[in-house]
């Protein structure tokens, strides 16, 4: 974090005001918390959204819309349970369509939450601190939406228990463990459970803060129950931090395995377009790409509506944009490789699949729309002007979300619609209930997000406290403390012989 040589000279000459110097320092080490905050104001600002402030009017509007849209899911589910999955448009040869497209899309979105909470924690990235709470909530809700599809595509979900889980049943039968679909059950249910644990453990100290601040006796009671009687003891914090670190360490291989296993659903099969060894990393990168897009879609309005700009700063948005760009480029590379393998394999069927997907088949325009959304739109982030504009980041995120959905559509439908036997070729078109179920899960997702924003602190209060300069004990390495600046400043002003 040393200042540049030229700037150092200026400091020595004393020609730069300390305020200007501070700006220069901030350029090198961006602030993770802006404004003059103390432990108390941080607690109030975040906690009061839940506890004290009147629920804003826009919350009611947003919640009502989301809840109404969620009814489409309820309606479709009821109709599906009555009539069976024939109400959907998928049929031979496209036996897998919206159900798995949406499943993969949702579960991919969840991945950013775990990446932010676990991997960035292990990498000691402080900027994760103010976005991890709602990113984890997003993970949970996205996994809930995702789980809906495999469960309901069984048509009779009440029987799914013995189809999916190995438990001793009266029929004496077991699931087939050599099938990637069972791996998927294990991966997704573990993922949902561990994400819930991670999220809840992170919440415990904040719930204790709310307990101690709540005036309403009823809420005080509820919070004291759900925070397990947390009292901030040093011995407790010690084990808490260990547990949190272990959870992060164990969630890292978990999150990488989940989308890898989801991709094995495809690549273990022998369908051209699915049977590819590079699917696991390709899917994981795509998942993080889509997930960061969703985090941006959520956090840009949130920081405005709840005035959280001090905690979710511009720097956070730029960092997220950069992660999106990096993963987006991996995804683009995968598209190129996918086409290359189709040609280089010298397999007639593989090459035909690529032809069908990209220029000859009925869905060629979806492929190019996908390239436009995922491949081209993201290139704007290279430019500072777009990267630093909230409007553009928001827009690009929406386009990327759409693009990632198209990617799954292209992978699934264009691999199936023209299979080995031309006599069985058929196109796929979604029907009303395909759309209503998908849109319904979006409504369900936002309903849960709105409830989360209302009842739980949207930013981790105790972790933001650790970002404040006052959290440092003297003598500790102070990454974000301006006293580093002062030290450097005085150091540079001292004559060389007197330096120590």
Contact residues for another protein, defined by CB under 8 A = 38-40, 43, 166, 172-178, 180, 182-183, 186-187, 190, 193-194, 197-198, 200-201, 205, 208-209, 211-213, 224-225, 228-243, 246-247, 250-251, 253-254, 257, 261, 264, 462-463, 465-466, 470-474, 476
Locate 269 and state its tokens: 């099969």
Those residues whose C-beta lies under 8 Å from the C-beta of residue 374, and which sit 6 or more positions away, are 289, 328, 331, 332, 335, 400, 403, 404, 406, 407
Which one, 186 or 435, has the nearer CB to another protein? 186
User: Distance between CA 454 and CA 64 in Å, rounded?
Assistant: 13
Locate 195 and state its tokens: 């994400």
| Structural contact between residues 417 and 361, judged by C-beta atoms closer than 8 angstroms | yes
Cβ neighbours around 57 below 10 Å, total: 8
Start-to-end Cα distance in the chain: 19
Which one, 159 or 242, has the nearer CB to another protein? 242
Indicate the DSSP class of residue 14: T
Which one, 1 or 171, has the nearer CB to another protein? 171
Least spacing, CB of residue 8 vs another protein, in Å: 30
Least spacing, CB of residue 252 vs another protein, in Å: 10
User: What is the DSSP annotation of 410-439?
Assistant: HHHHHHHSS-S-GGG-------HHHHHHHH
Cβ neighbours around 476 below 10 Å, total: 9
Which one, 23 or 233, has the nearer CB to another protein? 233
User: Distance between CA 392 and CA 398 in Å, rounded?
Assistant: 10
Which one, 219 or 351, has the nearer CB to another protein? 219
Which one, 18 or 469, has the nearer CB to another protein? 469
Least spacing, CB of residue 59 vs another protein, in Å: 25
Least spacing, CB of residue 282 vs another protein, in Å: 18
Give, in order, the Cα–Cα distances in Å from 193 to each of 139, 190, 437: 11, 5, 24
Least spacing, CB of residue 216 vs another protein, in Å: 15
Q: Which residues on adjacent β-strands are paired with residue 91? A: 94
Q: Which residues on adjacent β-strands are paired with residue 317? A: none
User: Distance between CA 133 and CA 138 in Å, rounded?
Assistant: 9
| Structural contact between residues 493 and 11, judged by C-beta atoms closer than 8 angstroms | yes
Which one, 235 or 384, has the nearer CB to another protein? 235
CA atoms within 13 A on the CB side of 370: 23
| Structural contact between residues 142 and 226, judged by C-beta atoms closer than 8 angstroms | no
Least spacing, CB of residue 311 vs another protein, in Å: 15
171-180 as b/e: b if 16+ CB within 10 A: eeeebeeeeb
Give, in order, the Cα–Cα distances in Å from 213 to each of 49, 201, 219, 310: 12, 20, 10, 22
Which one, 239 or 493, has the nearer CB to another protein? 239
Least spacing, CB of residue 165 vs another protein, in Å: 11
| Structural contact between residues 356 and 418, judged by C-beta atoms closer than 8 angstroms | yes
Which one, 6 or 178, has the nearer CB to another protein? 178
Those residues whose C-beta lies under 8 Å from the C-beta of residue 183, and which sit 6 or more positions away, are 261, 264
Least spacing, CB of residue 139 vs another protein, in Å: 14
Vertex 168, ends 164 and 169: CA angle to 5°?
Answer: 80
Least spacing, CB of residue 162 vs another protein, in Å: 13
Least spacing, CB of residue 299 vs another protein, in Å: 22
Which one, 361 or 457, has the nearer CB to another protein? 457
Least spacing, CB of residue 354 vs another protein, in Å: 28
Which one, 2 or 171, has the nearer CB to another protein? 171
């Amino acid at each position: 974090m040393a200042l540049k040589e030229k700037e150092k000279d200026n400091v020595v000459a004393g020609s730069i005001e300390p305020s200007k110097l501070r700006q220069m320092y901030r350029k090198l080490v961006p602030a993770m918390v802006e404004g003059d905050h103390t432990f108390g104001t941080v607690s109030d600002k975040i906690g009061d959204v839940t506890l004290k402030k009147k629920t804003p009017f826009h919350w009611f509007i947003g919640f009502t819309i989301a809840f109404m849209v969620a009814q489409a899911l309820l309606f479709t589910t009821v109709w599906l349970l009555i009539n069976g999955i024939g109400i959907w448009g998928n049929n031979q040869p496209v036996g897998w369509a919206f159900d798995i497209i949406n499943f993969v899309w949702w579960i991919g979105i969840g991945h950013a939450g775990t990446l932010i909470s676990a991997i960035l924690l292990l990498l000691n990235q402080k900027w994760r601190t103010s976005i991890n709470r709602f990113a984890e909530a997003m993970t949970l809700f996205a996994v809930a939406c995702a789980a809906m599809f495999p469960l309901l595509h069984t048509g009779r979900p009440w029987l799914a228990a013995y189809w999916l889980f190995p438990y001793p049943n009266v029929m004496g039968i077991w699931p087939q463990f050599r099938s990637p679909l069972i791996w998927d059950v294990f991966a997704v249910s573990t993922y949902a459970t561990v994400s819930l644990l991670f999220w809840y453990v992170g919440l415990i100290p904040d719930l204790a803060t709310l307990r101690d601040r709540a005036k309403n006796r009823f809420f005080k009671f509820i919070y004291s129950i759900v925070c397990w009687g947390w009292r901030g003891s040093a011995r407790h914090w010690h084990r808490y931090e260990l547990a949190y670190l272990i959870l992060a360490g164990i969630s890292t291989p978990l999150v990488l395995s989940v989308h890898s296993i989801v991709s094995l659903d495809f690549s273990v099969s022998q369908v051209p377009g699915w049977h590819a060894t590079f699917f696991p990393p390709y899917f994981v990168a795509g998942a993080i790409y889509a997930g960061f897009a969703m985090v941006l879609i959520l956090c840009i309005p949130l920081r405005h509506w709840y005035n959280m700009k001090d905690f979710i700063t511009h720097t956070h948005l730029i960092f997220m944009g950069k992660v999106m760009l990096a993963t987006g480029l991996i995804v683009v590379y995968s598209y190129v490789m996918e086409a290359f393998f189709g040609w280089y394999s010298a397999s007639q069927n593989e090459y035909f699949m690529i032809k069908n997907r990209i220029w000859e088949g009925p869905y060629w325009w979806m492929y190019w729309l996908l390239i436009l959304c995922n491949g081209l739109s993201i290139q704007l982030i290279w430019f500072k002007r777009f990267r630093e504009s909230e409007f553009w980041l928001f827009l690009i995120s929406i386009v990327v979300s759409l693009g990632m959905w198209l990617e799954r559509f292209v992978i699934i439908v264009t691999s199936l619609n023209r299979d080995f036997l031309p006599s069985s070729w058929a196109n796929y078109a979604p029907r009303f209930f395909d759309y209503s179920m998908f849109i319904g899960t979006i409504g369900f997702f936002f309903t849960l997000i709105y409830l989360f924003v209302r009842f739980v602190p949207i930013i981790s209060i105790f972790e933001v406290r650790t970002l404040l300069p006052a959290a440092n004990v003297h003598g500790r390495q102070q990454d974000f403390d301006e006293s580093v600046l002062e030290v450097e400043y005085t150091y540079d002003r001292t004559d060389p012989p007197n330096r120590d």
